[in-house]
Amino acid sequence: MNRERTDYPHTIEAAPDYGLVDVTIPRGKSLRVEASAMAYMDPSLQMSTKLGGGFKRMLSGESLFINEFAATDADANIGLAPGPPGDLAHLYLENETIFIQNGSYLASSPDLEVTTQFQGFKGFFSGEKLFMVKCSGTGDLWFNTFGSIIEIDVTADYVVDTGHIVGFTEGLDFSVQSVGGFKSLFFSGEGLVCRFRGQGTVWIQSRKTPAFVRWADQFRRIEKKNNN
C-alpha cells in the first residue's frame, strides 16, 4: 500500500473528530461514493446512481446503491462526509486487497473492485455482521472510523476487540475467542476478540458503537405513560 500516491488530489479536514475529505476529480475521471456521503460539489459534476455490490451489500447493512460523480468538462471538487463522527483514512492500493467493516467504506476510484465478502460463522460468533467490504485492485480508497483511527503492523499475533476493528489486509488470518473464561464473556464487559495471525496491517478505531449506545442510553428521556 502506498500512503503518498494518489490519482485524486485531496485534503482531509476536521480530523480526527469530524473528518471530511475534499477531493479533486480530474477531468475525464469519476469517483464512486457511498450513498448520502456527498456534502458539497462543483455544479459541473455529473452524478449517476448504480447498484453497488448487489443484494449482499444490502444484507450487510450498506446501501444497495452507490453514486458515481464524473468530471466531464474540467477538474472538479467534491466534499465527502461520513455519517458517524470520527476520522478518515486514505490508501492507494497497488494490486492489493483489504477488508473493511460495514459502514466504513466512503469512496474509491472506479478502477478498484468493491464487493461484499461473506465472513462465515467467524463473523456471526464475533457479534458483528456476517459481511465485510472487500476492496481490491489498484486505485484510491477512502474509509472512515468511529473515533480516531490507529494503524497497527502485525508481525505475528495480535488481539483486537471485535467492535474496534475497522479493517485489515488480505493474508492475515483471524480466529474469534473470548478474553477469559465463560464468566468473563458475559460479565467482564469485554465480550469477544479477534486474534490475528501472520503479517499485515490492522486498522482499529478508538471508539465502538455498542459501548457508545450504552453510555448514551442513560441520558435518554423516557416519557411517563398517562394511565387516565
What is the mean predicted confidence (pLDDT) over 193-197? 90
What is the mean predicted confidence (pLDDT) over 179-187? 48
Residue 95: which pLDDT band, with cuts at 50, 70 and 90? very high
Whole-angstrom distance, CA of residue 108 vs CA of residue 31 = 6
Q: Which fold has domain 10-217?
A: Double-stranded beta-helix (3.60.160)
Whole-angstrom distance, CA of residue 175 vs CA of residue 195 = 5
Residue of higher predicted confidence among 3 and 175: 175
Q: Is 162 helix (H, G, I), strand (E, B) or coil?
A: helix
Query: Tens digit of pLDDT for each residue in 155-174?
Result: 999 999 888 999 999 999 98
DSSP conformation letters of 6-30? -SS-EEEESTTTB-EEEEEE-TT-E
Query: Tens digit of pLDDT for each residue in 99-158?
Result: 998 789 999 999 999 988 755 545 444 444 456 889 999 999 999 999 999 999 999 999
**CA-angle at 119, arms to 118 and 124, nearest 5°:** 120
Residue 96: which pLDDT band, with cuts at 50, 70 and 90? very high
51 pLDDT exceeds 80?
Answer: no
Query: Tens digit of pLDDT for each residue in 10-28?
Result: 999 998 889 999 999 999 9
Q: What amino acid occupies position 225? A: K
Query: Tens digit of pLDDT for each residue in 56-87?
Result: 444 445 555 789 999 999 999 999 999 989 99
Mean pLDDT in the chain?
83
- Percentage of residues in the chain having pLDDT higher than 70: 76
